[in-house]
Amino acid sequence: MNDTAMTTKKVAVIGTGVIGNGWIARFLATGFEVTAFDPANGAEAKSRQNVSDAWSAIEETGMTEDADQSKLSFAPTIEEAVKGAVLIQENVPERSELKQNVLAEIDRHADTEAMIGSSTSGIIPTELQMKLQHPERFFVSHPFNPVYLLPLVELVGGKQTDRGVLEKAKEFFAALKMKPLIIEKEVEGHVADRLMEALWREALHLVNDGVATTKEIDDAITYGAGLRWAQFGPFMTFHLAGGDQGMRHMLEQFGPALQLPWTKLEAPQLTDELKERVITGCESHADGRSVAELEEKRNEFLVKLLRLVEEYRV
């Protein structure tokens, strides 16, 4: 029985929006059999289309020999979808009670040895595992869009999560060619989204105050900090900016500026005017190109950038 369990390559994906479909593509690319469930009309056709759109980018980053788009099937119920799966990945809308109920149903029908992960970007795992009979096998496994290309997955356990399960999940996601990051304390937004959100708030303020347009802010990141962060992240970037003494010198020189009232302390009101400014800013920057066209360009870029990061990351 153990041998069978070890060789089982079946997962379930519950909820097939952008993130669920991204997971499906990554699982298929690593040779998994995927059973999906989503009650929306046309969900299956959309999934198959998304996987097919993603496939050429995935091929360039490398897939396993048993990768196969046809290993995807849709089940009519959660119960049938989760049967035999070693991992069930939940990706329903970001509402706590909805997720709790869906997870409870997954938990009821999942195999005893199955792991259950949630893609939640903000809710802490202790809250999500409250209604489970087997909360110890539940964790947050939060990926980044496009899931089939970006390697990061944040793994966060709740109060009732078994540490051994987290370690097993880490191995599992590493085998999907991901960079799993176990986060030691559960906080809303985990780590990466908190960082993004901090920058996002300030960006909204700058637009709101008329200091810069959305395109100018994008340019400021692309031609400045973004190029460095892609290789090193914020800390090592500053380590390099400190000269021979690295971060030690940086903190002495720039520490005091931290207390200066540069950034706004609260998020701006999302007024209709600010919304329009942000939306039309992006639309005019996109200049008639559809999101699908931009996504294709993004994928070509990411495939090459990932190779660079692989080669030069320290």
3-state DSSP call for residue 183? strand
Q: Do residues 33 and 8 touch, judged by C-beta distance below 8 A?
A: no
Of the two residues 6 and 257, which places its CB atom closer to a second copy in the complex? 257
Query: CB of residue 300 vs a second copy: minimum separation in angstroms?
Result: 6
Q: What span, in angstroms and rounded, lies between the C-alpha atoms of 295 and 306? A: 16
Of the two residues 163 and 297, which places its CB atom closer to a second copy in the complex? 297
Q: What span, in angstroms and rounded, lies between the C-alpha atoms of 228 and 224? A: 7
**19 carries a ligand binding annotation:** yes
Of the two residues 17 and 84, which places its CB atom closer to a second copy in the complex? 17
Query: CB of residue 15 vs a second copy: minimum separation in angstroms?
Result: 14
Separation in Å, CA 80 to CA 19, 117, 224, 259, 296: 21, 18, 50, 55, 34
Query: CB of residue 63 vs a second copy: minimum separation in angstroms?
Result: 19
Of the two residues 83 and 264, which places its CB atom closer to a second copy in the complex? 264
Of the two residues 55 and 232, which places its CB atom closer to a second copy in the complex? 232
Of the two residues 76 and 261, which places its CB atom closer to a second copy in the complex? 261
Query: CB of residue 87 vs a second copy: minimum separation in angstroms?
Result: 20
Q: Do residues 71 and 47 touch, judged by C-beta distance below 8 A?
A: no
Q: Do residues 72 and 28 touch, judged by C-beta distance below 8 A?
A: yes
Q: Which residues contact 98 (CB under 8 A, 6 or more apart)?
A: 92
**18 carries a ligand binding annotation:** yes
**15 carries a ligand binding annotation:** yes
Query: CB of residue 284 vs a second copy: minimum separation in angstroms?
Result: 11
**226 carries a ligand binding annotation:** no
In terms of Cβ atoms closer than 10 Å to its own Cβ (0-12, 13-18, 19+), residue 271 is exposed
**17 carries a ligand binding annotation:** yes
Q: What span, in angstroms and rounded, lies between the C-alpha atoms of 275 and 272? A: 5
3-state DSSP call for residue 153? strand
Query: CB of residue 72 vs a second copy: minimum separation in angstroms?
Result: 20
Annotated binding site: 15-20
List binding-site positions for NAD(+).
15-20
